[in-house]
Structure 1
């Protein structure tokens, strides 16, 4: 386990924090105080480590149902990132293929404190928009900073599987459904491209995509992630738990919207995941408090319509962050049902690990949590950018259509990363 401890708050760069869920009033005066980085190979329980680390810094996460006060002069809260691999570990799922981004930790917790030196808006615009930006290191250097004068270049994307292999995996899931092994499995593909220049502005641009409720960035030595996710994994405020699963996609046209609303296949897939999310919340909720507030609402993300539901519940007495993460990770909409059986299929069929995608990313403060699911997410290591995309497979899935849907989800992310 790595724990990076800065020598002092005053020595840290005064960069604009762009982590999703950061309190708006605090963004201009936050600096990193401490961080925890952990990888699955380090051993231990990442959920417990995160709670212990945050509690040690005075962030009240041991009882999420208890009112807590935001300290405007002390510790504000923390960025939290948890990978899909760490989530599968928490759930007891089968180990998946190796990550294509080994520099990226599986758990990152970055604690921020307030400083009196508030930065004006024009300084925010000039600042690099994440903690630790500009510290990506190359293989031969300990801390290579990208040359801002070097022109941005992004090379050709190389897929982790061909369209034919993707279609074969869809058929393998359909066969497993036919045997009764699973009801639904989410399959995810990966692609990587070499780059030159500074990847951090490109990753930061993802947060401006329409519908990116969890748009933001986070980085460390040799790695960075950029997120444009519209999906809430879990939100906690005033003791109320909320999750907003997204399942069902069509082109953002009038005909696409009508088709999505009329699709029995998409609705059945969606309701199955809503039931799974209801069960996940029930594990950490007061008895009888789980409810579906909204079902199959069609909303837009970039050039796509997507179906979203809202499920909520009252937090059980004494619910802590660790127990909450164990209940909701990995997210049901990116695994399938039953969750453990779906994780077994994922481990068997996906050729590379999910890296930065399909995990959790957002903000944790005293009495308040807002974590997005890292769909529509990209990562950078020292020399490549990485993206992931996929979709839920049911008995009614058409392999060619599933391959096309994954490409449609990845297209806006790839286009923005390539922009100069």
Structure 2
């Protein structure tokens, strides 16, 4: 095979060509087990900032128009399966989330993707046969980083100075890398989605783009009126020493609790009064070759809470922005060299009575030209710049390895 750009890319049709839709990958993250292999696409809406309008309202209106009314999450509408609407996959980029809350958008994304994709599926007992796999193999070229380790470390120092001035308490910094490819990228993205610990493992495709996700982190789940978020902050190698070091780290615990407080406040704005609680604090769990600290925060949805209100409250996720959120977004926009693309957004499944969106960490995206990955970490006053560089590299290593 010639190693370079290929004229054969993902053969994905225009979303309005209904006859071609079964040829697209149907395996979005958080799809119910009983629905896997039984989904057929009914409708799709994609949005970019240039399209204008309010993206949160656009998502809600589109789903309502296609049989998924989500105007009162405290009193969900019962749904039906089999030959009717089963549910929908929802992808919301970090940029879309930033715009929802009036934040400062960062530089343009290096990946040519929509910022919102909503795909409505029906449930069928006789799914179409799988599309033929392209005969061309998969080749991925070398990675090109969006910044050098020194530039990354310098950005960490700038955040530490901002914290010392009192501008922010914490800022999450994210870097990016891209690699050229040839052939069919979908099997590689599927491998990514099967990584151990991927609570939100799966692939979502569109015309000339695809997102593969192996995220362990819950951005927001709503089940029968209960809101749940599970922020992850704090990372160490998955060794006995790494486990002990993470539990003993005052810096990691302080960073984690700061984000727990931020996300408690996010939920409090949309929850029944007095219902916010932390059910699990700083629990150490494993993802691939890493230990990570996770907490679980729950609340009851306030009466009349709509999907649009929910998205405006939780997007973009606090664990990948910082505190205060709007101030952190200003520093992110100024310091990160490229946009966050498919990363640090939300991706998952919506059905009557249940919303389950993962935070798109440990995520890759493919457009016509390249495969893209992102990784980063939260910066506090105690952060060591080159330790933060190393942590980001550790997070992206399993993702890149899956895309071999």
Common fold: TM-score over 0.5: yes
Aligned to 1:417: 403
- Match of residue 341, structure 1, among 323, 327, 350: 327
SS in 2 for 1:369: strand
Structure 1 residue 15: Cα displacement: 6.0
Aligned-residue RMSD, C-alpha: 1.5
SS in 2 for 1:13: helix
1:22 aligns with 2:31: yes
Deviates more, 1:85-94 or 1:291-300: 85-94
SS in 1 for 2:393: helix
Structure 1 residue 295: Cα displacement: 0.1
Structure 1 residue 350: Cα displacement: 0.2
Aligned to 1:138: none
SS in 2 for 1:294: strand
Aligned to 1:84: 94
Structure 1 residue 343: Cα displacement: 0.2
- Match of residue 96, structure 1, among 106, 126, 141: 106
Equivalent residue runs for 1:211-250 within 5 Å: 211-250=197-236
SS in 1 for 2:403: helix
CA contact (8 A) 1:286 1:317 kept: yes
User: CA 1:15 to 1:151, structure 2 compared with 1: closer, same or farther past 3 Å?
Assistant: closer
CA contact (8 A) 1:14 1:31 kept: no
SS in 1 for 2:395: helix
Equivalent residue runs for 1:267-346 within 5 Å: 267-346=253-332
SS in 1 for 2:275: coil
Equivalent residue runs for 1:3-402 within 5 Å: 6=16, 8=18, 12-13=21-22, 17-73=26-82, 74-101=84-111, 103-118=112-127, 127=130, 148-402=134-388
TM-score after normalising by structure 2: 0.94
Q: Distance in 2 between matches of 1:413 and 1:16?
A: 20
Structure 1 residue 396: Cα displacement: 0.3
Structure 1 residue 109: Cα displacement: 0.2
TM-score after normalising by structure 1: 0.90
CA contact (8 A) 1:60 1:365 kept: no
Aligned to 2:5: none
Structure 1 residue 304: Cα displacement: 0.2
CA contact (8 A) 2:24 2:206 kept: no
Structure 1 residue 287: Cα displacement: 0.5
Structure 1 unaligned runs (5+)? 129-133, 135-146
Q: Distance in 2 between matches of 1:250 and 1:15?
A: 37
Q: Distance in 1 between matches of 2:189 and 2:328?
A: 30
SS in 2 for 1:92: coil
Structure 2 unaligned runs (5+)? 1-13
CA contact (8 A) 1:16 1:27 kept: no
Q: Distance in 1 between matches of 2:202 and 2:20?
A: 24
Q: Distance in 1 between matches of 2:241 and 2:20?
A: 55
Q: Distance in 2 between matches of 1:329 and 1:194?
A: 30
Structure 1 residue 211: Cα displacement: 0.4
Q: Distance in 1 between matches of 2:23 and 2:370?
A: 27
Equivalent residue pairs, number: 390
